[in-house]
A and B are shown apart, each in its own frame.
Chain A
């Protein structure tokens, strides 16, 4: 028992496997590019200014912007001045979606951002660091003629960050400030057909609420949701990938258990990588179609986080186990320096995510970025995570460098070695280089596609064919990492073939004892004495 499948496979077979994987990869890209629509849609909503004609504001009443029971509308605020309508009686109403449409569970999530149109006026200037207080409520219904049911109600404070391009003179009155958009709302499931948002801007002079916020002309919302078509393609892909990875995982683990020795660290890590990939793959999202599970978004984040952490750990351990030096590893604790930052970084991001999306389960209008403390806290988490990531990459690069240095050292002494030893090192080097190559290729592909999808328009047109670049990016990259894990488990599973099997006896017989030691070097189960012996022999050679 020595080596992995990849070492003992003929080049021809390797090429065939590579070819099949490549075809699957292309299919993954094409599924996203040709079948799926763009991943998300942004729908702009212009709020309608309603007049709340009731005298008391206690009882929740919902104001509709359009439709059969629409509210009394205001055209603009000049009208409100002349009709002596108070700010507290004005409600900005937005109905989601627009007329003759319905929301659907396939949209998976909804997030809204808010844009304020603030006009410049000499005597009502926007104050520095102005804060706007919003009294927001969200309701749903599933039938056009049902009553609205409240989902959430909150009073939120948002900071206004606006600039004014022209000099602040009488001449430029009426021109709009250029304001950053504000995070408004995030919901992790779209279980209902119709939603209604009512926003009030209560004014309280004494408490200084909503004073100095300038002349607000309009409130616009932009709703972002995942496209149903994309969701369907995505689910289909997951449903297809889950069994494929699961099968190879079972096969892989069976091979390991068939061996006489206990599995080594690298094999365990590869298996763990397979598990975390399956964890992402399992299409639990199907349940979101039937159930109102708002935590799905958070759950998805956690699953992805686990996979990334696993992948990063795998790279480090893979490098370490191919170091070809005389250090004893084969224990996770031997990698604490490298794996530590990953753990800390992922933990930071987990806490951050819990603070943002976790709290949003309770209050969809919450955002950690809206308060001073929250922003600093969030930044702290992200910076720590960033530092950890940098640290990790430094370690990784250093390790890769070390491996290459050792490889070049070994390569120069290869011809002088005995055949078994040479084969062993050649196998190690090949395994490492091959792994390096596909990892770099995958990483490069991810980065390139990420950049392409960021800079291009979103879809390319060739004659009649439209390619959705963003969807292709998502399905392609997702498929790619699945194939990566698949290939890893397949090619790095222990081989049944012996070194000797496809060789003529040669001088192997002489070195049968040595061979045993060699295999233990790969697996490092036998402790330092064997390594020491090997090292001495090497020195002799």
Chain B
């Protein structure tokens, strides 16, 4: 598996493999007609989380995921990891589809494996969103008590319990990024350009989660004064991170490989920036998504996507661009939908059925 380039020649390291396996995984279980949300229900034994006890259940789940030997070992050792990985996949896919719902490429599961083998902007986004989802899910799983070895693991020189009682355990996010880096085996930096690009984009995803942290404080001194104050960091909703990554996708930087004579190994290099003097090409910033190939148009069915034929679009908005100039069909139809809903927390919805004539625009063949 991981580390044997014969099998997956385009991967330089394991880092990319996990992220891609996360994304591959979905594509394996998705019949072509399904949308992302439905695809999720196709997972084996996904339905009842926690239904499988702490015993052998998670081991089986670890087998189902495409993992390297080392990753599988970690997965077996940590009972909650398999479930967290699945959460991460789900979170990443849903967010990707939400962010790209009105683009030519709609983050569909079809064509994803081929897409991941290239170095498009879309590939960059996929890597970033997957790793961000993984970081986010790990941190969440830690605070839900789903993982056993969270924060106190990385305190040096002290036994786990002692570290907790003394009070030197780190926070969940620090742990989860550290764990993630170990899990992805990022220490070995791949030699080829695309592997480096993938690692870079994976790190962009992790950073996006880190930058999205909000610090909140609580005062609890004498009579509630701020003489004693405790602060903690709080994950922002994953939607925010998805939005941020989408913006990064829009401003993604095309890179090529240069050999830095001083250091002796090659590194990523972006285009010359304005105002950047000297002949040395600018390094991409750690927050930039990078890509190496120009994207296909995604207009026609290809191995990367199904094309935009038949996709619905909004006439004022994106029909021209989505339909690639082929024009669109206008169809008027009567739709029934739920209306005047009485919704309550939780789990109580009472709606009336309303009928409305709706004009649907869809791209021509």
Q: Are B239 and A176 neighbours in the complex by a CB distance under 8 Å?
A: yes
Say whether, besides A65-B144, A98-B150, A203-B344, A42 and B166 are in contact (CB < 8 Å). no
Give the contacts of A70-89 with B (CB-CB under 8 A).
70, 72-73, 75, 77, 80-81, 84-87
Task: List CB contacts (< 8 Å) of A105-133 with chain B.
Answer: 106, 111, 113, 115, 117, 121, 123-124
Q: Which residue of A lies closest to B167 (CB)?
A: A227
Given contacts A45-B143, A222-B232, contact A216 B345 (CB under 8 A): yes
Q: Are B218 and A224 closer than 8 Å at their CB atoms?
A: yes
Do B349 and A81 touch across chains, with their CB atoms under 8 A apart? yes
* Interface-facing stretch out of B10-18, B222-230, B258-266: B222-230
| Closest chain A residue to B227, Cβ basis | A450
Asked whether A44 and B166 contact (CB < 8 A) given A181-B218, A201-B345, A203-B344, the answer is no
Determine if B234 and A66 form an interchain contact, defined as CB atoms under 8 angstroms apart. Answer: no
Complex: chain B residue closest to A180, CB-CB: B216
CA distance A205 to B344 in the complex (A): 9
Shortest CB-to-CB span from A486 to chain B, Å, is 22
Q: Which of A33-41, A265-273, A312-320, A423-431 contacts B (4 or more CB under 8 A)?
A: A33-41
A110 to chain B, nearest CB (A): 11
Inter-chain contact A98/B145, CB cutoff 8 Å: yes
Our pick among B145, B165, B226, B348 for the contact of A87 (Cβ within 8 Å) is B348
Tell me whether B148 and A100 are in contact (CB under 8 A). Answer: yes
CB-CB under 8 A from B344, the residues of chain A are 87, 124, 203, 205, 211
Contact of A101 with B by CB under 8 A? yes
Q: Does A304 contact B (CB under 8 A)?
A: yes
B160 adjacent to chain A (CB < 8 Å) = yes
- Does residue B133 face the partner (Cβ distance < 8 Å to A)? no
Q: What is the minimal beta-carbon distance from B92 to any residue of chain A, in angstroms? A: 16
The one of A175, A215, A220, A230 in contact with B143, judged by C-beta atoms closer than 8 angstroms, is A220
By the criterion CB–CB under 8 Å, are B348 and A224 in contact?
no
In the complex with contacts A70-B50, A77-B347, A101-B164, A46-B143 CB distance below 8 A: yes
Given A65-B145, A203-B344: A229 and B167 within 8 A (CB)? Answer: yes
- Beyond A38-B167, A98-B145, A349-B223, whether A216 also contacts B346 by CB under 8 A is yes
**A370-402, CB under 8 A of B: which get 1 and which 0?**
000000000000100000000000000000000
CB pair A111 B144 closer than 8 Å: no
Given contacts A42-B230, A123-B341, contact A181 B346 (CB under 8 A): no
Q: Which of A189-240 contact B (CB under 8 A)?
A: 201, 203, 205, 210-211, 213-216, 220, 222, 224, 227-230
Contacts of B232 in A (CB 8 A): 42, 44, 222
Residues in B with CB closer than 8 Å to A115 are: 234
Chain B positions within 8 Å of A77 at CB level = 345-347
The contact of A305 among B166, B222, B347, by CB within 8 Å, is B222
B237 within 8 A of A: yes
A48 to B145, CA, bound (A): 9
CB distance from B30 to the nearest CB of A (A): 19
B283-308 vs A, CB cutoff 8 Å, 1 = contact: the mask equals: 00000000000000000000000000
With both chains docked as a complex, state the minimum distance between the C-beta of A193 and any C-beta of chain B, in angstroms.
Answer: 11
In the complex, which residues of chain B have a beta carbon less than 8 angstroms from the beta carbon of A111?
218, 220
Partner of B229, one of A174, A181, A305, A454: A454
Interface of B is mostly: mixed
Determine how close the nearest CB of chain B comes to the CB of A101; give it in whole angstroms: 5
Of all chain B residues, the one with the shortest Cβ separation from A186 is B220
Docked CA distance A458–B223 (Å): 22
- Those of B111-162 within 8 Å (CB) of chain A: 140, 142-152, 160-161
A50 to chain B, nearest CB (A): 10
What chain A residues lie within 8 Å of B218 (beta carbons)? Answer: 42, 111, 113, 181, 222, 224
| Interface majority SS (helix, strand, loop, mixed), chain A | mixed
**Interface readout for B318-356 with A: 1 if CB under 8 Å, 0 if not?**
000000000000000000000001011111110000000
B201 in the interface, Cβ–Cβ < 8 Å?
no
Q: Please state if B144 and A46 are interface contacts (CB–CB under 8 Å).
A: yes
Interface residues on B, range: 35 or more
Given contacts A175-B239, A176-B239, contact A214 B345 (CB under 8 A): yes
Quick check: B146 and A213 within 8 Å, CB to CB? no
Residues of A within 8 A of B167 (CB): 37-38, 41, 227-230
Instruction: Write out the residue numbers on chain B whose beta carbons fall within 8 Å of the beta carbon of A492.
Output: none
Residues in B with CB closer than 8 Å to A124 are: 341, 343-345
B169 contacts chain A at the CB level, 8 A cutoff: yes
Do A181 and B216 touch across chains, with their CB atoms under 8 A apart? yes
Q: Is the CB of A99 within 8 A of B145?
A: yes
- The smallest beta-carbon distance between A261 and chain B, in angstroms, is 38
Contacting A at CB under 8 A, from B204-254, are: 216, 218, 220, 222-224, 226-232, 234, 237, 239
- Does B74 interact with chain A (Cβ within 8 Å)? no
Q: A40-B230, A214-B345 are in contact. Are A174 and B220 (CB under 8 A)?
A: no
A42 to chain B, nearest CB (A): 4
Q: Report if A301 contacts B (CB, 8 A).
A: yes
List residues of chain A with CB within 8 A of the CB of B50: 70, 72-73
Neighbour of B222 across the interface among A65, A175, A304, CB < 8 A: A304
**B165 & A228 in contact (Cβ 8 Å cutoff):** yes
Chain B residue with Cβ nearest A348: B223
Of residues A42, A80, A174, which shows the largest number of chain B Cβ atoms within 10 Å of its Cβ?
A42
Q: How many angstroms from the CA of A66 to the CA of B161 in the assembled complex?
A: 19
Write out the residue numbers on chain B whose beta carbons fall within 8 Å of the beta carbon of A66: 144-146
Compute how far the CA of A12 lies from the CA of B172 in the bound complex, rounded to whole angstroms: 55
For A47, list chain B residues within 8 Å (CB).
Answer: 144
Contact assessment for A86 and B347 in the assembled complex, using a CB-CB cutoff below 8 Å: yes
B282 at the interface (CB under 8 A from A): no
Q: Which residues of A contact B150 (CB under 8 A)?
A: 98
* Chain B proximity of A19: nearest CB distance (Å): 30
A519 contacts the other chain (CB 8 A) = no
Residues of A within 8 A of B54 (CB): 68
Q: Type the 1/0 row for A157-196, where 1 means its CB is closer than 8 Å to any CB of B.
A: 0000000000000000011100001000000000000000
The verdict on B168 contacting chain A, using a C-beta distance below 8 Å, is yes
A-B contact pairs, 9 of them (CB 8 A): A38-B167, A41-B169, A42-B218, A42-B230, A46-B145, A121-B343, A123-B341, A203-B346, A222-B218
Please name 4 further chain A to chain B contacts, defined as beta carbons within 8 Å, in addition to the given A45-B144, A90-B346, sorted by A numbering. Answer: A41-B230, A87-B346, A229-B167, A353-B223
Partner-B contacts on A (CB < 8 A): 37-48, 65-66, 68, 70, 72-73, 75, 77, 80-81, 84-87, 90, 95, 97-102, 104, 106, 111, 113, 115, 117, 121, 123-124, 174-176, 181, 201, 203, 205, 210-211, 213-216, 220, 222, 224, 227-230, 300-301, 304-305, 349, 352-353, 356, 382, 450, 454, 458, 474
B interface with A by C-beta (< 8 Å): 49-50, 54, 98, 140, 142-152, 160-161, 164-169, 172, 216, 218, 220, 222-224, 226-232, 234, 237, 239, 341, 343-349
